[in-house]
Every structure is written in C-alpha cells, then in structure tokens.
Structure 1
C-alpha cells in the first residue's frame, strides 16, 4: 500500500509538472520595463515561480502535499541531470557553426574560469562572518552545481555539515538563480555591455541559469540569436570541463587556507 501511494503521488507529480509547463508557455515571454531597462521574463521563470509558491507550507495541503512529497522532491533533484542531457547535446550543435570564431578568442574563455574562484574569495568571508563554519566549505566552493555536489559528497558525504552547505546552495541556485540570471542579463545589456561578453558570462556551470540568461538576451537582440547561443554554449561546456580542475587544484587549496586563517582568527 505504501508503494502504491508513492506511485499515485508520482503520477500526480508528473501531471502537475505538465500543467505548470502548459501554464508557463501560455503566459509566454513577458517584457517588464523598469526605468530605461527592459527585463525579459521567460516561461521558465514563471514555471519556477508557480512551483515555488505552490510548494510553500501554507499551500502544501491535500493534493499539493502529495505532489510535494519527500519522494517526489528527492526524485526531481536526483534526476535533474538526465533532463539536462538533451540540452547539453544542443549546446554542441550550437557551438559547431561558430567554432572558428570561438577558437579565435579561446583564451578569453579560459581566463573566465578564474572567475570560479570568486565564490571562495567573496563568499567564504561573508559565510564565516554570518556564523557558518563547516557548512561554509560546501556552500562557497563554487556555485553549488553538479561538480561541487559530487566533490563534497565524495569527500565529506551529504549528511555532513559540508554536505548540508552544498545542498543548500544547490537548492537556492535552482530556485532563484534562474530568475536572477534572466533579469540581470538584459539589465547589463542596457548598461552597454557587449552581447558577446554577456553570452560568454552566461555559462557559469548551471544549465538552467545559462539558458535563462541567453534566452533573455536573445529576446532583446533576436538578430544575434545564433552568436548568443554559440558563445553561451561554448562557455557552459568549457566551464563544466575546466571548472572541475579549477575547483580541485585552485579553489579547494585556497578555500582551505582562507578557512583555517579566518576561523583561527575568530577564536582569538
């Protein structure tokens, strides 16, 4: 009976997901003007907002309690990467037509990888300042995507303080990162940043964030859609590959050094 209940909950979960997708697509792309800026809101953003609101404790009753069951939530997080695999294949197809142009400025993509250290240099001091300790190690190693999740789970397990830190960041990034990226990209475009630079900066290691940022840019500059997709996809692929080595050989030692210094100083 218990397994039967899980099956029913899962079917409800799938039906709910399809309804949310249909509702978000029905809303479609919306443009909001804030001062002199135009902010593009994608259907993906509306889908996230709908699921966030309905997942709040006040609404989690009756059928929504079954939809947001612990099993369904765990399943969605665990198998998110498989949903992203077709998107990864699309990245490769987008990169191919622009490969010569991308290779001509390849060094810029490589230098961009040092930006991954920003989570340690900026995030770790703030985390320590607000009272986090071992949780800060998981939360500030990167932007909390699959690479950091795998490293922390292998080294510390996800039941550790470090594991809770990286899981928290993974969830927060999934919920809010897409919304932030879909808003900040067109704002920076309005401030005068080049569309190529913004497309490159979209690939931070998160497929959903990259898609949100690049789609928002395409909505603003549709005539450069091919360039935006190619640059964003190349940056995303490179970040997923080189980002692992940047994390292991640069971010981890730097984080360990900074953490030991700051925690010792805090105890004095």
Structure 2
C-alpha cells in the first residue's frame, strides 16, 4: 500500500457520513434494574462501519477499493491525536485538584491486578485454558503489553495467543464496553466521581475517552473534572503501566495461574483448546505494515482528520459551526504536531500520544500566557465528536487476522476479555476510592 492510498476519498467520505448519522441518533439511555446503560454515538458509528468493512462483508467492502481496512487503521491513529490533545487541555485548569488527588492517581494503577482475579479463574477452571490465560488476563492487552509478552514469551507462544486474543477483543468491543460499564457504575452512586474517572485511564486513548464521556453524561455536573482526572490517569498509565505489568501484574498472574492449575483437571498447557482452535483457523499475526509518514505528511494528514472532526462537531453542536470551532481545532492540530516532533527526536520510549497530552497540558496551565484563550477556543470542540469518527474508522479497520482469531476463539476469549476489562476498571476504582 502506498501513501496515495491513504487519501482514498471513499473511505473518508464514508467515515464522515457514518459519524454524522451516529451523532444525529445521539445518546440513548436505558434505565434498567441494575442501573443506567448508555449507548453513545461512537457505538453506532462502529457498528455501521462494520457493514462496510472489506473483511466483514466483502461484497460491500470491495466498493471502497483495495486496502480499505489498512487505510482506515492508519487513520484511527491519526484521528486519536486531536482527541488526546482535547483531553490534555482539560488538565491544566484543574491542576490543583489533580495534585491534591496525587496518591490516588499514582496507586490506582496497582488495582490492575484485579484483571487476573476476575478473569483468570474463569479462563483456567471453567474454560480449561492453558498458559494463554496468562497472556489474556494479566492486562487489558494494549500495545505495551503485547510488546512485553512478545519479548518474554514470543507471540507464537501460548501466552502470545492469549494476549493477541484479548487485544483483538479490545479492538472490537473494548471502547464500547468501557462506555457502557462506566455509565452503569456512575449510576449506582457508590463511588467518588474522581475514582471513577481515574479508573478510565487504562492506557488506551479511545477506551479512556469513551469511559470518561459516559461518566460525564451520567454526572454532567462534574464533566470537566472527570475529563481532567481521566486524562491525567491515562498519561500516568503510559509512564507506569508497563512497569506495573513487568513487576506486579505478570508475576502475580503467573503465580495465580499455577495455583489455579493445581485445582484444574483440564487439558495440558501445550494442548489447550484456544491454542488448538487458533492453529486450526490459521490465525496469523503478520499484518500489512503501516505506511511511514514524514512530519510534513503527518501534518497534512492531521488537517484532513481535523476537518472531519469539525464537521462532526458541527452536527453535534450546531452553534459551533466550522469557523467557530476552527481556532480550537487548530490548537489541537498544533499540540499534535509538536508532540510528534518531540516523539521523533526524543527517543526515550514515551509514546507520541503522551507527548501530545503533555504539550496540551502545558499550554492550558494557568501560568501559561495565553491559557485563557486556549480554554475559550478549545471549549468550542466537544469530546465525543472527536471520538465518533475514530470509531467509524475503527469499524472499517478490522483486519483479516482479527476476524480469524475471533472465529477461532469464539465466545470464550470474548468473555475472558470482558472480565479482564471489568477487573481492570473495578480494581482501579476501589484503590482510588480508598486513597481519596
């Protein structure tokens, strides 16, 4: 796939149309016996996009042209950058509150060991999984965790099969699940809103955004604070999450696995059902590589992504038309570009989104000369309208490998993944609540 393919107008036009439709549908609330369940526009955008994915519905997807899923995949990464900047500018004005909650922010990451507590017993005792359960349940299996498992065990190992299985489930359902789960927790009125917000910082921009957006809809009086705490927690997770996985979560999961396996009379480690199914279905982790873009090319790509965001933002809030919201979006574009430049030249293992968030935080601090203008302009761009197109691209981006692994693993790995996500959130909420 060459760089010109990234400008496939059909992919972008479809993402805009689906995002606009999703925003027009709006937020749907269901009051049930267990609380309030929210369906955000991002859910509708994702589901509708699946119907046009070349790997899900080939007869429809072929009309988008070759490599449409790979093109959409790269635009997910580009589209998330202004969204991360939006969250970053919400931290500066609330810096005093965040500093006051510092211990809770730092320590809630340890709550991630609940990921294994929730998911590992089901994986080993009920589903008779082998060592792939370690890879599947030690974390929510985002990119740093995949790198850790790949380095320690290899992606073709049983542990590698597990971590990739949950990664796929996170790609398919993670963002949507976190939005539903967070809204439900908020409706119970059991936890401090700050604890609920901190737990949203799971190391994934889209999951964090969906989680905090749902909280903001249920608790609108704390909307800005929720965004600030969630973004701060997510930024800390980028810095500390891998170390927690290396020194706490993975060793804990290994030890718990051995304990549970001693009670299990299931299949042996080398011949677990998930590993066999994956091998039989030919799940392959070698995907087409992303197109490498220069800083200039990325800057131009960000302009296109920002334009998409401006259109969807206008539909979401008619008062904020494209010209009204343009200065705020330009600020997000600048933060994204500066963060990318820092990432390119400062090679210390910090992800680009963390640099983008840091730049956004700095320009929003009260001490920054133009922080009042930054707050005024960026307020014209909403959180959800920036995330909805990202989920539209994500629906178009589902790959053949992800479809294969989903078919191979079936409902078992899906349930284990959802339990892992639940454990991560619940554990972090409890730790943060205790520390506040």
TM-score higher than 0.5: yes
Residue correspondence of structure 1 range 250-265 to structure 2 within 5 A: 250-263=248-261
Q: CA RMSD in A?
A: 3.1
In the alignment, the residues of structure 1 paired with residue 34 and residue 159 of structure 2 have an alpha-carbon distance, to the nearest angstrom, of 42
CA shift for structure 1 position 79? 6.7
- After superposition, the Cα gap between the structure-2 partners of 1:220 and 1:10, relative to the gap in structure 1 and judged at 3 Å, is same
Cα deviations by residue, 1:100-138 (Å, 9 ceiling, x for unpaired): 111112111122111111122332232222122232222
Give the match for residue 170 of structure 2. 173
From 127, 140, 159, the counterpart of 1:143: 140
The residue number in structure 1 matching 2:28 is: 30
1:187 pairs, out of 184, 189, 192, with 184
Q: How is 1:1-268 mapped onto 2 (pairs within 5 angstroms)?
A: 7=5, 12-34=10-32, 37-52=35-50, 55=53, 60-65=57-62, 67=64, 71-74=67-70, 76-77=72-73, 80-129=76-125, 130-193=127-190, 194-263=192-261, 266=264
Q: Answer whether contact 2:128 2:264 (CA < 8 A) is retained.
A: no
Matches of 2:150 and 2:71 in 1, distance apart?
Answer: 17
Which has the larger Rg? 2
The CA deviation string for residues 48-72 of structure 1, in whole angstroms up to 9 with x for no partner, is 2223455598x71423256597x54
CA shift for structure 1 position 82: 4.2
In 2, Cα distance between equivalents of 1:256 and 1:36: 34
Shift of 1:36: 8.4
SS at match of 1:94: coil
Q: CA deviation at 1:221?
A: 2.9
The answer for unaligned runs of 5 or more in structure 1 is none
Deviation at 1:216, TM superposition (A): 1.7
Question: Runs of 5+ in structure 2 lacking a partner?
Answer: 269-436
2:29 counterpart SS class: strand
Q: Distance in 2 between matches of 1:81 and 1:166?
A: 21
Q: 1:33 to 1:264 in 2, by over 3 A?
A: closer
The 2-side partners of 1:19 and 1:45 are apart by 15
The 10-residue stretch of structure 1 (237-246 or 19-28) with the greater mean CA deviation from structure 2: 19-28
- In the alignment, which residue of structure 1 is the partner of 2:274? none
Question: Whole-Å Cα distance in 1 between the matches of residues 19 and 36 of structure 2?
Answer: 24
Looking at structure 1, the residues matched to 217 and 122 of structure 2 have their Cα atoms a distance apart, in angstroms, of: 35
**Are residues 62 and 159 of structure 1, via their aligned partners in 2, closer, same or farther at CA, if it must alter by over 3 Å?**
same
Alpha-carbon distance between aligned partners in 2 of 1:181 and 1:158, rounded to the nearest angstrom: 26
Question: What is the CA distance between 1:77 and its match in structure 2?
Answer: 4.8
Cα distance in 2 between the residues matched to 1:79 and 1:133:
36
The number of residue pairs the alignment matches comes to: 263
Q: Is the CA contact 2:11–2:72 (under 8 Å) kept in the aligned structure 1? A: no
Label 1:120 to 1:107 Cα distance change in 2 as closer, same or farther (>3 A). same
Contact map agreement 2:51 2:60 (CA 8 A) in 1: no
Q: SS of the counterpart of 2:202?
A: coil
Which has the larger displacement, 256-265 or 117-126? 256-265
